[in-house]
């Protein structure tokens, strides 16, 4: 899944980005409110992590602008303010959750997972298709009784496939959700990573799960 971090403290932004990428997320970063608003309105992000105190446009103004445009992307607010009134203002403005600085990265990741589960309407922590299982919390993948080792990007790609079973995913859709703004759409990186997954997931196993839809993209299905 693809996340947007809007945080003006570069060290904090890079810390969050690195940690979330290690968790298998694609992460974009904006260092001020105006750039954050521009990136947030593209509707390709699954969740936004938003600092309240930003230059050029505050986090609250950004949030209100998004909701006024009827953009319903979940927003997790980061704030140094501990007053209940400030938290209430943020939630009333359209935030879905908040986290007070300084925070534990484990708690940040847990809140991100909870918001993403809420968005997809799933209460399950594990994803299953046929005998393939992915646990986004423990970062484990198995097929039947055999564990499968994946890189962070392979894990993110499989996670996206398994959240959209029996659905054709175009290369554009995959790029938008698994890669970040720096992705070069003219490369064959997506096809290369799909082949990596095929070797690990489908090689010498039945049924084959990853299918090519010629001229369109790929699909994860059992038949």
Domain's final residue, options 120, 150, 180:
120
What is the reported pLDDT for 123? 55
Q: Does 29 share its domain with 116? A: yes
Which portions of the chain are predicted below pLDDT 70?
A: 81-83, 120-124
Domain's final residue, options 94, 120, 146:
120
Residue range 47-60, pLDDT digits in tens: 999 999 999 999 99
Show the domain range for 94.
2-120
What is the reported pLDDT for 118? 85
Looking at the 3D structure of the chain, how many domains does it have? 2
Which residues are 47's β-sheet partners?
3
Contact 79, 98 (CB under 8 A): yes
Domain's final residue, options 120, 136, 170:
120
Torsion, Cα of 24, 26, 44, 29 (10° steps): 140
**Phi-psi map region of 62: left, alpha, beta (phi>0 left; psi -120 to 50 alpha):** alpha
Q: Does 175 share its domain with 101? A: no
Using only the alpha carbons of the chain, give its radius of gyration: 18
Q: Does 40 share its domain with 137? A: no
What is the reported pLDDT for 221? 93
Q: Does 37 share its domain with 92? A: yes
Identify the CATH number of the domain in which residue 180 sits. Answer: 1.10.10.10
Contact 129, 162 (CB under 8 A): yes
| Angle, CA 13 vertex, CA 10 and CA 16 arms, to 5° | 150
């Amino acid at each position: 899944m693809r996340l947007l971090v809007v945080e003006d403290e570069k060290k904090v932004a890079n810390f969050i980005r690195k940690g979330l990428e290690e968790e298998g997320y694609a992460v974009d970063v904006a260092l001020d409110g105006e750039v954050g608003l521009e990136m947030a309105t593209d509707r390709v992000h699954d969740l936004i992590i938003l600092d309240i105190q930003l230059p050029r446009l505050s986090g609250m103004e950004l949030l209100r602008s998004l909701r006024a445009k009827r953009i319903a992307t979940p927003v997790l607010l980061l704030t140094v303010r501990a007053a209940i009134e400030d938290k209430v203002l943020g939630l009333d403005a359209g935030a879905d959750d908040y986290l007070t600085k300084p925070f534990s990265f484990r708690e940040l990741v847990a809140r991100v997972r909870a918001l993403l589960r809420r968005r997809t309407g799933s209460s399950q922590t594990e994803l299953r298709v046929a005998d393939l299982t992915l646990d986004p919390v423990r970062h484990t993948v198995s097929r039947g009784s055999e564990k499968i080792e994946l890189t962070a990007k392979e894990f993110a790609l499989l996670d996206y496939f398994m959240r959209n079973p029996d659905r054709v995913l175009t290369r554009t859709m995959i790029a938008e959700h698994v890669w970040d703004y720096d992705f070069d759409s003219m490369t064959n990186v997506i096809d290369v990573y799909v082949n990596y997954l095929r070797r690990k997931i489908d090689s010498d196993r039945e049924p084959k799960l990853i299918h090519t839809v010629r001229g369109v993209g790929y699909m994860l299905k059992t038949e």
